[in-house]
Amino acid sequence: MCSDILNMSIDPVEILLNSVSSGHPTEFVVTGLMMRYYHTCHRELWFESHDIEIDRSTNSIQRGTRVDDMSYSNLSEVLHIGPIAPDVMEDGKILEVKPSSSMEKASKMQLGYYLWYLKHKCGENRKGVLTVPNEKERTTVKLTAELESEIEDAIREIYEVVSKESPPEPEEKPFCETCAYQDFCWGGYDG
């Protein structure tokens, strides 16, 4: 990120909203994945925002991102709007498909952010459905005033995390073992 825009006197939500409405992204962009990582690991969030990428194509490191589930193969629409890319749409609702419900809060906030983004970009008030086919779970998510406020607080805090010059120190989490950065964070440093 460019330090010019990292002016904490400006509300990061305003920076993002200007970018959303103008269609000209500033250097502060929040993707759905970033919203997710904010709720799981701030170090992973920092990596994601600084283009430090690790190949996630192996099964062991698809934790909580996407699921290629054949039961949704007939739902062909994938929505790409700027930095957001919900999995599919179903009857006008935004559908986010997850492999498990283990990180429900993060999944709900990711989906909530898609709804927030759509509201501000297109004036569309959509409902969302969080679905976990493996567990036959479906939860409706609505963009309530409370959820909207929670998302905007998260955007401000994401701004703080990604503005740092170096990543937060690793903190052991139950899902580190299946994280793409596991070796990067916890590998030996014995030279």
* Cβ 188 to ligand SF4 shortest distance, Å: 14
Q: Closer to ligand SF4 at the Cβ: 83 or 170? A: 170
Q: Closer to ligand SF4 at the Cβ: 15 or 41? A: 41
Mark 79-97 as b/e (b = at least 16 C-beta within 10 Å).
eeeebbebbbbeeeebbbb
Report yes or no: 68 and 61 within 8 Å, Cβ to Cβ: no
* Cβ 146 to ligand SF4 shortest distance, Å: 28
Tell how far CA 6 is from the center of its chain.
Answer: 21
* Cβ 110 to ligand SF4 shortest distance, Å: 16
* Cβ 176 to ligand SF4 shortest distance, Å: 3
* Cβ 135 to ligand SF4 shortest distance, Å: 22
Positions in the binding site for ligand SF4 (CB under 6 A):
41, 43-44, 170-171, 173, 175-176, 179, 181-182, 185
Q: Closer to ligand SF4 at the Cβ: 15 or 106? A: 106
Q: Closer to ligand SF4 at the Cβ: 44 or 87? A: 44
According to DSSP, the β-strands at 128-132 and 137-141 are antiparallel
End-to-end CA distance of the chain: 31
Report yes or no: 128 and 141 within 8 Å, Cβ to Cβ: yes
Q: Closer to ligand SF4 at the Cβ: 142 or 186? A: 186
In the chain, which ranges are E strands?
A: 88-90, 93-97, 128-132, 137-141
